[in-house]
Amino acid sequence: MTAPDAQVDSALRERVVEAMTTVLKRLVEREEPITEDMQMADELGVSSSLGLELLLEVEEQLGIQIDVERMRPDELLTVGELATFIAGHSRPW
């Protein structure tokens, strides 16, 4: 369930992508750049538990709360798709 682009704050999405790529590099111990088109599970090896750790760190870095109730992980396969969801389904805390 990815939010339509029209509902997404593009500045927030940019910050989400930046935070996600920084955190992901550390979590999966990767030196090379991480791009939006990369598959989280298949290319980066992000497990479901590592995915939650990613969400928690993004929340804490950006001071947001992600609406995980509405998240369908099976439909959020790439870094960019997850970033779009987070930007469209989060609120400041």
Partner 1 sequence: MTALDAVSVYTPAFRVPLEDLADPLGLTDIQVRLFRRFHGLDQVRFDPDRSPAELLRAAVEGLAELRGQEHRVRYVIHGRAMPVVVPYPHNPLHDVCRELGLGHALAFTVTQQSCASGLLAVELAGRLLARDPDDALALVLTGEKAFTRHARLIPGTSLFGEGASACLVSANGPRDRMLSFVCAQRGEFDGEFGDREEEFQRQYRPSLAEVINRAVADAGLTLDDIRLVLPHNVNVVTWQRLCSLMDFPVQRVLLSNVPDHGHLFCTDAFANYRTARERDLLREGDHYLVATVGAGAGATFSAMVFQH
Tokens of 41: 């599970």
Nearer to partner 1, 14 or 52 (CB): 52
Contacts of 65 (CB under 8 A, 6+ apart): 59, 90, 91, 92, 93
Please pick, from the candidates 21, 59, 61, 77, the single residue that binds partner 1 as defined by CB under 8 A: 59
Query: By CB under 8 A, is residue 28 in contact with partner 1?
Result: no
Of the candidates 12, 28, 68, 77, which one interacts with partner 1 according to CB under 8 A?
68
Rule CB under 8 A: choose which of 23, 71, 82, 83 binds partner 1: 71
Please tell me the distance from the alpha carbon of residue 5 to that of residue 9, in angstroms, as a whole number: 8
